[in-house]
A and B are shown apart, each in its own frame.
Chain A
Amino acid sequence: MTQLNNGITLFFSLLVEAMPFLLLGVMFSSVLLLFVDEQKLLAVIPKNVVLAALAGSLIGFLFPVCECGNIPVARRLLTKGAPTAVAIGFLLAAPTVNPVVFWATWIAFRDQPEIVFLRVGFTLIVAVTIALIFSAQADVRPFLQENLTRMMGPEPVAAAPAEAEISPLLRSGTFLMQSPGQVLQLDAPPAQVLAQVAVATPPMVTRLRMMVDNMVLELRELGAVLVIGSAIAAFVQVAVPREVILGLGQGPVTSIVAMMALAWVVSICSTVDSFFALSFASTFTSGSLLAFLVFGPMIDLKNISLLLTVFKGRAILYLFVLAAQLVFLLALVMNLYTS
Chain B
Amino acid sequence: MTSTPSSNGLRAARRRSLPWQALVDAAMLLLWGLMLLRFTVTGKLYLLLHPDYMWLAHLAMVLLLAMGVSRLIQVWLSYRQGTGQTIRSQEHTALLPRQFSVALLIAIAVFGLVYTPRPFASETAFQRGITDVLGQTRSRPQRFSLGGASEERTIVDWVRTLNVYPEPDAYAGQVAQVSGFVTHIPNWPDEFVMISRFVLTCCAADAYPVGLPVELPPGTARPDPDTWLEVKGEMQTSTLDGKRQLAIGDPTLTEIPEPRTPYEY
Residues of A at the B interface (CB closer than 8 Å) are 2, 5-6, 8-10, 12-17, 19-21, 23, 33, 75, 79, 110-111, 145, 147-148, 151, 160-163, 165-166, 170-171, 188, 192, 195, 200, 202, 209-210, 212-217, 219-221, 223-225, 227-228, 233-234, 237, 241-243, 246, 266-268, 272, 275-276, 278-283, 308-309
A282 touches B101 (CB 8 A): no
B118 touches A16 (CB 8 A): no
CB contact between A161 and one of B56, B74, B91, B140 (< 8 Å): that residue:
B91
| Interface hit among B62-70, B169-177, B179-187, B252-260 | B62-70
A20 touches B60 (CB 8 A): yes
CB contact between B57 and one of A20, A33, A161 (< 8 Å): that residue:
A20
A13 touches B90 (CB 8 A): no
Report if A223-B2 is in contact (Cβ < 8 Å); known contacts: A16-B39, A16-B48, A151-B91: no
B201 touches A162 (CB 8 A): no
CB contact between A216 and one of B1, B29, B137 (< 8 Å): that residue:
B29
A221 touches B48 (CB 8 A): no
A17 touches B91 (CB 8 A): no
Q: In the complex, what residues of B have CB within 8 A of residue A308's CB?
A: 95
CB contact between A13 and one of B48, B56, B71 (< 8 Å): that residue:
B48
B93 touches A227 (CB 8 A): no
Q: Which of B17-58 contact A (CB under 8 A)?
A: 25, 28-29, 32, 36, 39, 45, 47-50, 53, 56-57
A266 to B201, CA, bound (A): 14
Residues of B at the A interface (CB closer than 8 Å) are 1-3, 5, 25, 28-29, 32, 36, 39, 45, 47-50, 53, 56-57, 59-60, 63-64, 67, 70-71, 74, 87-96, 98, 100-102, 104-105, 108, 112, 115, 117-121, 123-124, 127-129, 135-140, 163, 199, 201-206, 208
CB contact between B95 and one of A13, A170, A283, A309 (< 8 Å): that residue:
A309
A42 to B185, CA, bound (A): 61
A309 touches B48 (CB 8 A): no
How far apart are B95's CB and chain A's nearest CB, in angstroms? 5
B89 touches A214 (CB 8 A): yes
A215 touches B91 (CB 8 A): no
How far apart are B117's CB and chain A's nearest CB, in angstroms? 4
How far apart are B262's CB and chain A's nearest CB, in angstroms? 11
B90 touches A227 (CB 8 A): no
CB contact between B118 and one of A9, A15, A151, A309 (< 8 Å): that residue:
A9
How far apart are B152's CB and chain A's nearest CB, in angstroms? 23
A225 touches B95 (CB 8 A): yes
CB contact between B201 and one of A151, A212, A227, A275 (< 8 Å): that residue:
A275
B121 touches A23 (CB 8 A): no
A278 touches B91 (CB 8 A): no
Q: How many A-B residue pairs have CB under 8 A?
A: 200
CB contact between B60 and one of A19, A225, A227, A280 (< 8 Å): that residue:
A19
Residue among B59, B136, B208 with most chain A CB within 10 A: B136
Closest to B29 in A: A216
A59 to B88, CA, bound (A): 29
A19 to B59, CA, bound (A): 10
B201 touches A161 (CB 8 A): no
Q: In the complex, what residues of B have CB within 8 A of residue A111's CB?
A: 140
Q: In the complex, what residues of B have CB within 8 A of residue A228's CB?
A: 104
A195 to B1, CA, bound (A): 8
Other A-B pairs, 5, CB within 8 Å; known A2-B123, A275-B50: A9-B47, A13-B204, A19-B57, A75-B93, A275-B201
Secondary structure dominating the interface of A: helix
A246 to B60, CA, bound (A): 34
B204 touches A20 (CB 8 A): no
CB contact between A272 and one of B70, B112, B129, B203 (< 8 Å): that residue:
B203
Report if A214-B71 is in contact (Cβ < 8 Å); known contacts: A237-B205, A280-B136: no
A9 touches B120 (CB 8 A): yes
A217 touches B201 (CB 8 A): no
B90 touches A217 (CB 8 A): yes
B94 touches A16 (CB 8 A): no
A309 to B208, CA, bound (A): 33
A161 touches B203 (CB 8 A): no
Q: In the complex, what residues of B have CB within 8 A of residue A213's CB?
A: 87-90
How far apart are B157's CB and chain A's nearest CB, in angstroms? 16
A33 touches B135 (CB 8 A): no
Q: In the complex, what residues of A have CB within 8 A of residue B120's CB?
A: 6, 9
B2 touches A165 (CB 8 A): yes
CB contact between B136 and one of A14, A165, A234, A283 (< 8 Å): that residue:
A283
A303 to B201, CA, bound (A): 21
Closest to A216 in B: B25
Report if A214-B90 is in contact (Cβ < 8 Å); known contacts: A16-B45, A220-B25: yes
Q: In the complex, what residues of A have CB within 8 A of residue B204's CB?
A: 9-10, 13
Closest to B44 in A: A12
A79 to B92, CA, bound (A): 13
B88 touches A162 (CB 8 A): yes
How far apart are A145's CB and chain B's nearest CB, in angstroms? 7
How far apart are B107's CB and chain A's nearest CB, in angstroms? 9
A241 to B126, CA, bound (A): 10
How far apart are A115's CB and chain B's nearest CB, in angstroms? 12
Q: In the complex, what residues of A have CB within 8 A of residue B56's CB?
A: 17, 20-21
A268 to B140, CA, bound (A): 22
B115 touches A8 (CB 8 A): yes
A188 to B6, CA, bound (A): 13
B202 touches A282 (CB 8 A): no
How far apart are B64's CB and chain A's nearest CB, in angstroms? 7
How far apart are A254's CB and chain B's nearest CB, in angstroms? 17
